[in-house]
Amino acid sequence: MRPIRLAASVILVVCGWCGVANVAGAQSPEPGRIDVVQVNGLVDPSNAALIRSTLREAERRGSTVLVYQVDASGAVDVDARALVRDIEGATVPVAVWVGPSSGGARGAGALLAQAAGHAAVAPGADFGAVDPVYYDHPSRTVPSEDALKAKPIVRGRSAPATLQDFVASLDGRTINGVKVSTLKGTAGNRTLSQNVHFHKLDLTQQLAHTLDTPWVAYFLFVVGLLLIVFEFFTAGIGIAGFVGACALAGGCFGFSHLPVTPWAVALLLLGVLGLAIDLQAGGLGVWTIIGTGALTAGSIWLYGGSSRLDPKWWVLVLVIGGTVVFMLSAMTAMVRARFSTPTIGREELIGEMGAAVADVDPDGVVRVREALWRARTNRATPIHAGDQVRVISVEGIVLEVEPEQGGARDYRHR
């Protein structure tokens, strides 16, 4: 019996020690934490998701304070009123620092600063007007906006110049009914009392946020169209087509969150198509003028909503000028190199036999003397891929061909 009693006593002692340890652990509070969230650029779905997720996480962890570092502008495809309600109803202290000195806040970004329990603007940073809050719908307002404007915001020389100074300045302040403590130590030797955890958009969110940037979406859309046209004229499928498809998809993704004008997008398509038509015809013509004009008009009036979404003038010059130069210079040189042969004179090709690489009805591609040429035939005599053809004339870099047998006589040769 004595061994059993001894074992039981040991077990009771061990259990008692574990219980005391658990109680002690439960009574000792976990060290606090300071969460800092970077909000940059447009307040779009990616940034809105970041604001909400970090707010919920801070409430779950019981963070000492949640700081939003804001360098942001207006909202697109986002309900800013819901964000204001979330910040105002937070159970943890929420503060906003507008910075760094080269940054600023306006529109929805400024509204978030006014919704926080405490806000400050770094010296040199710009704190612009709240209106318009929504860049995609400038006429929409936030019902509680007037009350938010009455909240004091620390500015000027007295405002913290750095994020660390701002976090330190929160020590002793009462935010959202909670007294905040962020410093430890004695006077003259005080440091942050808790670990600072930084949060920003993850890789997927950052990609989506970048694609939502108006000039990026516009640039990718036009570049995607040009690369697809390039792939079409090379008579094959390669890396240019794949990259073009990806760029076009990225541009369309950005357009899905931005106030795009449908007829302006149609003008962009018409502009690239018009330049491609004259490229196919082998020279400058009326379609070059139409295409350039359509591309310019579509670029200027691409976005509705606030004018702050419009691409900068230098972006327009770069894209429009680059497109015209690419189509009239680089593409023309590529087509000439692709569909011509430098070893013979073009007039010597008349009467030569070849084969259709693709249907010529009335335009297509043929192979003559082991070289690919753009070709055209009489509409009355379509030629199928693989059929034998005869060259009857040369117009620039385009061959006029007819079937080996049964070619219709052109009215000019009757």
DSSP label at residue 347: G
Taking each helix axis from N to C terminus, what angle separates 262-281 and 214-233, rounded to the nearest 10 degrees?
30
- Do residues 281 and 362 lie in contact, with contact meaning Cβ atoms separated by under 8 Å? no
- Do residues 340 and 354 lie in contact, with contact meaning Cβ atoms separated by under 8 Å? no
Answer yes or no: do 190 and 73 share one domain. Answer: yes
Answer yes or no: do 190 and 237 share one domain. Answer: no
pLDDT at 6: 42
pLDDT at 9: 46
pLDDT at 331: 79
Answer yes or no: do 173 and 269 share one domain. Answer: no
Answer yes or no: do 255 and 366 share one domain. Answer: no
Answer yes or no: do 329 and 355 share one domain. Answer: no
Give the separation between CA 126 and CA 100, rounded to whole angstroms.
Answer: 10
Of 131, 132, 109, the C-alpha closest to 119 is 109
Answer yes or no: do 187 and 230 share one domain. Answer: no
Answer yes or no: do 376 and 318 share one domain. Answer: no
Strand partners for 316: none
Residue 81 C-alpha from the chain's centroid: 24
pLDDT at 260: 97
- Do residues 274 and 291 lie in contact, with contact meaning Cβ atoms separated by under 8 Å? yes
Look up tokens 């929160």; give the residue.
170
Range of the domain at 245: 213-338
Answer whether residue 4 is part of any domain.
no
* CATH number of the domain that residue 350 is part of: 2.40.50.140
Answer whether residue 21 is part of any domain.
no
Give the separation between CA 213 and CA 220, rounded to whole angstroms.
Answer: 11
Strand partners for 403: 389
Answer yes or no: do 301 and 224 share one domain. Answer: yes
DSSP label at residue 303: B
Strand partners for 402: 390
Q: Phi then psi for 196, rounded to 5 degrees? A: -105, 125
Answer yes or no: do 323 and 409 share one domain. Answer: no
Residue 346 C-alpha from the chain's centroid: 48
Answer yes or no: do 180 and 250 share one domain. Answer: no
Answer whether residue 92 is part of any domain.
yes
Number of domains in the chain: 3
CA angle 204, 115, 132 (to 5 degrees): 75
Answer whether residue 26 is part of any domain.
no
Answer yes or no: do 224 and 272 share one domain. Answer: yes
Give strand ranges (E) for 180-317. Answer: 183-186, 189-192, 195-199
Answer whether residue 116 is part of any domain.
yes
Query: 315, 338, 361: which is the final residue of a domain?
Result: 338
Query: 146, 167, 202: which is the final residue of a domain?
Result: 202
Give the separation between CA 77 and CA 108, rounded to whole angstroms.
Answer: 12
* CATH number of the domain that residue 170 is part of: 3.90.226.10
Cβ atoms within 10 Å, residue 122: 26
Answer yes or no: do 196 and 237 share one domain. Answer: no
Determine the residue type at 230.
Answer: F
Answer whether residue 8 is part of any domain.
no
Walk along the chain (414 residues) and give the pLDDT tens digit of each residue.
444 444 444 343 444 444 434 434 433 344 579 999 999 999 999 999 999 999 999 999 999 999 999 999 999 999 999 999 999 999 999 999 999 998 999 999 999 999 999 999 999 999 988 889 999 999 988 766 665 665 778 888 889 999 999 999 999 999 988 999 999 877 777 788 889 999 999 999 999 999 999 999 999 999 999 999 888 887 666 788 899 999 999 999 999 999 999 999 999 999 999 998 888 776 678 988 999 999 999 999 999 999 999 999 999 999 999 999 888 887 777 776 665 554 445 667 788 899 998 888 888 888 888 888 888 888 778 888 889 999 888 887 788 899 887 655 444 444
Strand (E) or helix (H) holding 365 = strand 363-368
State both tokens at 351.
Answer: 């009467």
Query: 283, 318, 338: which is the final residue of a domain?
Result: 338
Task: Compute the residue count for the chain.
Answer: 414
Answer whether residue 20 is part of any domain.
no
Answer whether residue 5 is part of any domain.
no
Strands 363-368 and 353-356, by their bridges, are antiparallel
